[in-house]
Amino acid sequence: MVGSAIVRQLRLLSCRSGVPAANVITRTHAELDLTNQAAVNAFFAAEKPDQVYLAAAKVGGIHANNTYPADFIYQNLMMQANVIEAAFRNGVQKLLFLGSSCIYPRMAPQPMREDALMTGTLESTNEPYAIAKIAGIKLCESYNRQFGFSHGVDYRSVMPTNLYGPGDNYHPENSHVIPALIRRFHEAKVNNALSVAIWGTGTPQREFLYVDDMAAASVHVMNLPKAAYDQHTSPMQSHINVGYGSDVSIAEAAQTIVKVVGYTGAVTFDTSKPDGTPRKWMDSSRLNSLGWQAQVPLLQGLTLAYQDFLAGHCERGEAIQTFENK
């Protein structure tokens, strides 16, 4: 999802500026397994890129994180370590690592500032993934500290809030909250289900950012002059938050999706299921001061996301799973 959005953004900037597009090199997971160190080394040796956007990750919602904790920490650690080391060994001076808002403590003061990192206990439902992402930040910082002066290494990190949009994962069990709700409400609409049950109480607050906004922020941060980036960061706290600027409750997000999908049944909440972190709202003032603001409001973004779901799932004739909500 994020990688595709970054490619769209790079091509859009090329069209607007009239400057020929750079040679954007991409690989799917089927084409390159980033957990395979030998394969990653061979890729970098052959392609010799000038810049790297490291958007690849194993991601999922509460259910997936609870079910596959070893997969989440191992695969993400391996991907990050392999790519960052291979980038350095092949002369890449500019790299942008994409992390996650889950790096912050479960009870971090809201909105979460960059200096809240490692000041408290992580949310237990996604701790393995969060630890891997923290390691990615520290990998970038460590390469900068050791090789910045001698090799011109400038590896930066951005921490997006909850993302959604075209190319999202709509798996019925392993997806994040927005794509999961889009799928569930659509299937309930198709099957005339009387109600849809949502995990938890509906009270947790979440900030949602349309993925093309995230892509624009990523390109913006990558292209900032080093002096400007360094002025707003420090060698051992170099990451920058990327958020929308406000948050909503899960219940409010669900009702907005109901409106977009056109589902007319009841929405209930299964309070026997976990809520996750009570609130995740990013302080994006650092990025705002560097000249970037989110552009796509939630209703507009969800409408575009639902159109993507319809195009990617229904038009291919995929089977619709029936939910019995009684």
Beta-carbon contacts of residue 37 (< 8 Å; ≥ 6 apart): 78, 82, 86
- Tell me the backbone φ, ψ of residue 231, rounded to 5 degrees: -65, -30
Q: Point out the catalytic residue in the list 129, 164, 210, 263.
A: 129
Which residue type does 281 have?
W
DSSP-derived secondary structure for 118-162: TSSPPPGGGHHHHHHHHHHHHHHHHHHHHHHHHH--EEEEEEE-E
DSSP state at residue 310 = I
Active site annotation includes 129 = yes
Q: What are the E-state strand segments in the chain? A: 51-54, 94-98, 154-160, 162-164, 195-199, 205-206, 208-210, 239-242, 248-249, 266-270, 279-280
**Alpha-carbon gap, residue 234 to 211, rounded angstroms:** 27
| Side-chain half-sphere CA neighbours of 243 within 13 A | 23
- Would you say 82 and 35 are in contact if contact means Cβ atoms under 8 Å apart? yes
- Residues labelled as active-site residues: 129
